[in-house]
A and B are shown apart, each in its own frame.
Chain A
Amino acid sequence: MSEKSTPSPDGTPPSTPKADVDEARSFALSEDWLATIVGLVVVALAAAGVITADWIPL
């Protein structure tokens, strides 16, 4: 983790370090964009007739 997290004196677990939250958020967003791009590419290729239902097995 990006900053060492130690339990507080009263024994409660540490909060999630802010750097980790930011890092996870940026990762989630990049996955968001990746899903958007992949999905739109599938739609565009289907509209162009490049891919068809036969491409998926079973």
Chain B
Amino acid sequence: MSAGADQNRATEQGPLEDSVVSLRRGLWTGAFLAGLAAVVVGGLLARYLAVHVPEWTADGGLAELGAAVEYPVYAIAIGLLLNAVLAATGVRDRIAVGFRTEFFIKTGLVVLGATVLLSVIVRAAGPAILQGLLLITGVFAFTWWFAGKLGLDDKLRALLASAVSICGVSAAIAAAGAVRAKREQLAYTASLVILFALPSIFILPWLADLLGLSPSVTGAWLGGNIDTTAAVTAAGSIAGEEPLQIASIVKLTQNALIGFVAVGLTAWFAFKVERSSEGAPKAVELWHRFPKFVLGFLAASVLATVYAEQASAANLEQFESTIKVFRDSFLTLAFVSIGLEFKVTSLREAGWRPIGVFAAATLVNIGLALALASILFAGFTL
């Protein structure tokens, strides 16, 4: 297959196929570097605005608004703006291989682990696991049932249910591998995830404030119901430092449960839906599907906890400020990438039924996550 043909396919397909194509074409190409450069330029601009807009608006009537808008808002807005400009000039799809949202968000989350004391993770793990299990089970079951009522294909039902109940695009990719979904199904599931995640980044922190939720309940709610890890981090950053830490722990707990769902889906489709002769999935699949950056998050927390006990106050202060600047930088690049990656073309082909299922499942997710977070994280403090 020619490079040009490969490129055309990459523009029509979802993240799975994009990954395969980019792997084949080699990462260190001009297209990759150009895409990466667009992300970095967008990130620098977002940081510049986040630092200087409050200064520019300090003396005017927009002082409150200027101080309230956090860096994720600038980063996503700039990403969407760059997206429109690059798409209009026909460049975007050619350099999309450089928009590495997953890499930036995972690196940012590993660094974020160094801002969370190990004792907090240990205390939050119990309620986070319980919330994750109940949410995944409840939202997956509802989405599967409702999608079946609307007559959707079983493979699409599995993708939608995994994406909305676990962790968005990553879960959809894992589910696509488990049930061998059609590439179009994966593409528009990924688009639906981003379509619903973008407004939730801004609406849910505002709603949490309106409802008077505590920082921990806010974090657990955001981490539990927003689908993609990147969007959870963006919403958590807008809500504050404590909600960000709790939201990250809750979301990473859900990420860690991907393996169990993927293995369950593989077995279900092998034995019940397709009755194939490939046999049951092996236990090693759990390790293969486990998101390894969760281990990095824990290791960073251990490192930081040990360092905090030994370092002088001055060194600890410098360490903490350094970690936060690097964490926010990686997350800024991830948020710019989210804006750059957003595409509506695959949604046009999906029809209203998958969108209706996703919308209904999102509402159930929001309600159930709020109830569980309010119960399990009531009185929880860092």
Contacts and interface: CB of A to CB of B under 8 A. Distances in A.
B23 A21 contact: no
A39 B319 contact: no
Interface in B247-304: 288, 291-293, 295-296, 299-300, 303-304
Contacts of A21: 16, 176-177, 180
A40 B110 contact: yes
Interface residues of A, number: 39
Contact of B110 (A36, A46, A58): A36
Contacts, number: 144
A56 to B, nearest CB: 5
Contacts of B325: 53, 56
B20 A24 contact: yes
B17 interface: yes
Interface in B64-116: 100, 102-103, 106-111, 113-114
A49 B318 CA distance: 8
Instruction: Report, as a range, how many residues of chain B touch the other chain.
Output: 35 or more
Contacts of B292: 29, 32-33, 36
A40 B182 contact: no
Given A32-B291, A36-B296, A23 B110 contact: no
Contact residues of A: prevailing secondary structure:
helix
Interface in A37-58: 37-40, 42-44, 46-47, 49, 51-53, 55-58
B154 interface: no
B380 interface: no
Contacts of B195: none
B16 A16 contact: yes
B186 interface: yes
Contact of B102 (A12, A31, A56): A31
Interface in B315-336: 315, 318-319, 321-326, 329-330
Which of B100, B293, B307 is the most central at the interface, judged by chain A CB atoms within 10 Å of its CB? B293
Interface stretch (B44-52, B118-126, B230-238, B353-361): B44-52
A46 B113 contact: no
A43 B304 contact: yes
A34 to B, nearest CB: 7
Given A33-B292, A43-B111, 17 more contacts: A1-B9, A13-B183, A16-B181, A24-B16, A25-B177, A28-B19, A31-B100, A35-B102, A35-B293, A39-B109, A39-B300, A44-B303, A47-B311, A52-B322, A53-B324, A56-B47, A56-B326
Interface of A: 1, 12-16, 18, 20-25, 27-29, 31-40, 42-44, 46-47, 49, 51-53, 55-58
5 contacts: A16-B181, A31-B106, A39-B109, A39-B111, A56-B325
